[in-house]
Amino acid sequence: MGFIQAQAKAVSSSAKPNLSEEHSANNERVPQLVDITASTGIHFEHLSSPEQKYIVESMSGGVALLDYDGDGWLDIYFTNAPSVSMALAGKKARSALFHNNHDGTFTDVTEKAGVGYPCWAMGAAVGDYNNDGRPDLIVSCFGGVVLYRNNGDGTFTDVTKAAGLDKDTGWATGVTFGDYDGDGNSDLFVPHYVDLDMNDLPKFGSSKTCQYHGVAVQCGPRGLKGSPDTLYHNNGDGTFTEVAKQAGVDDPNHFFGLGAVWSDFDNDGKLDLFVGNDGEPNYLYHNEGNGHFKEMAYDAGVAVSEDGTEQANMGLALGDYLNVGRISLVVTHFSDEYAAMFRNDGGMTFSDVSRASGISRSSSPYVGWGDAFLDLDNSGWKDLILVNGHVYPQVDSVKMGTRYKEPKLVFKNQHDGTFKDVSEESGEAVRELQVSRGLAVGDLFNTGKLDVVVENLTGSPMILAAKSNPANHWVSFDLEGSPKNRLALNARVWVTIGKQRQMDEVRSGGSYLSQNDLRLHFGLGDAARIDKVEVQWPNGERQSFENIVGDHFYHLKQGGTLIPVPQTR
């Protein structure tokens, strides 16, 4: 994972968050994360090669949270991948879909759903490509993508060829849906990683780029060829047309794309696109509103670190952690680097506040993957979680200050632009050493508390329940667009209580190869009621509601009224 040097353009900004004095102190208890995997009845194992001799064996492991059957409860999809030896022998790895039983347990429904063997699966994301209101599943593969259409009866159909996506044969990674041209149909961006031939794999430890601190390891991505990215425009009839070059997002440099996410970073009403490239500069594509994008990552301050270094750029966490109405970014990286926090200062400018925010020192020893902003204690401020795990099992054989299995990291928001590392205080499960990859966040059991699902490269996943402050309140919104974009991708909600105004956004993909709950969850602190709820729909329409009762799930169809959804547990 890259350590190439680059000269970055300096980006200065005096746009500091204007935080009220009432939130300057943070004396709340540290929320606990408890491992509840055993009680859920989930039995799944991600396959892996013990030696990890090839890079393609070390990168899989995405997890998607989606309510595929529309019963109001989150289900879980884990991707899986074979080893090279398995693949060459014609053997496949079984991905798995688990149905939520509404009682704290899950049932494996993979065979009935028809989603067990999509491909050499990397990750997954959710979208509604045919605008029928049901979440469809896109799986990224070593060898393209697979699009599963949700049939509405508990089953999925592989419509990859019918949709025109079978032409994508590259190593696809962090796929993401978003309606970039505002026609109401969800388009698909597919970043691609290494141009790798299964029949001509680089030999383990064979060159300088296949060494890590003098130890022979898998080759790549440095020293290997990259692949261009693709953008598929939704034609509105169940098919897609590839338009990356016309749109200006085709990656002519063939960088090693790992993650991508759509968001309106400058609040101009048009979706922009961030692409994380492993060991190379990131891309930030600004939507010019005519079906074309302008790449401006260096000008915006997100291409490289503040000292001009290209970093590994793997997991992507987006959130308004300052409660100022702007979406900031955290990008996870390789060991000897650090997780980068890019504060959104407005006007498509960002500042690297990794050190100032307090997250750089704790994250630098580890290889970071999945990450997310989430309010663990329902305080009204977004905390941060990262999962880690090395790519080289060989590091355990020598004393170099790092290990193959690594702990997770939890950072508590201090309400002043900084975070405190509370990993050691957050529970035994956080400290447990694993080789983690994907991470997704959602309220699995409809309790008003967020849960964290981690997929590990080796062995079983881990499901963590947050034991938040019971005195704090919360609210959750399930949005339905109308008449188009029925999943309401990239719709935004603002929640105002007194002087505090929180904001969040419905998104497809993100983290590392993973999908979070599409419902928007807000902690309310000690407030039992919300002064004002504002919704901005992707087509620009706005709605607002006042004096809303907390501790409820609400459903909102565009143009309609907030409807409380009964809690059944």
How far is residue 165 CA from its own chain's centroid? 22
Q: What is the mean pLDDT of residues 457-470?
A: 94
CA proximity to 55, closest of 217, 200, 190, 172: 217
d(CA 122, CA 378): 32
Q: Where residue 7 falls among pLDDT bands split at 50, 70, 90?
A: very low
3-class DSSP state of 55: helix
d(CA 78, CA 122): 10
d(CA 329, CA 314): 12
Q: Is the pLDDT of residue 112 over 80?
A: yes
Sign of CA dihedral 396, 401, 402, 403: positive
d(CA 96, CA 109): 8
d(CA 190, CA 31): 36
Cβ neighbours for 475, distance < 8 A, ≥ 6 positions apart: 495, 521, 522, 524, 530, 548, 550, 551, 552, 553, 554
Q: Is the pLDDT of residue 26 over 60?
A: no
Q: What is the pLDDT of residue 4?
A: 30
- For 147-203, how does the pLDDT look when each residue is reduced to its tens digit (9 = 90+)? 999 999 999 999 999 999 999 999 999 999 999 999 999 999 999 999 999 989 999
Q: Is the pLDDT of residue 28 over 90?
A: no
Sign of CA dihedral 458, 1, 88, 513: positive
Mean pLDDT for all residues in the chain: 94
Burial class (CB in 10 A: 0-12, 13-18, 19+), 540: exposed
d(CA 366, CA 390): 7
User: Which structure tokens are listed for 550?
Assistant: 């907390």
Q: What is the mean pLDDT of residues 465-482?
A: 95
- For 310-354, how does the pLDDT look when each residue is reduced to its tens digit (9 = 90+)? 999 999 999 999 999 999 999 999 998 999 999 999 999 999 999
Q: Check residue 303 and report its DSSP letter.
A: S
Q: What is the pLDDT of residue 568?
A: 59
Q: Where residue 27 falls among pLDDT bands split at 50, 70, 90?
A: very low
Q: Is the pLDDT of residue 259 over 90?
A: yes
Q: Where residue 399 falls among pLDDT bands split at 50, 70, 90?
A: confident
Taking residue 5's Cβ as centre, other Cβ atoms within 10 Å add up to: 11
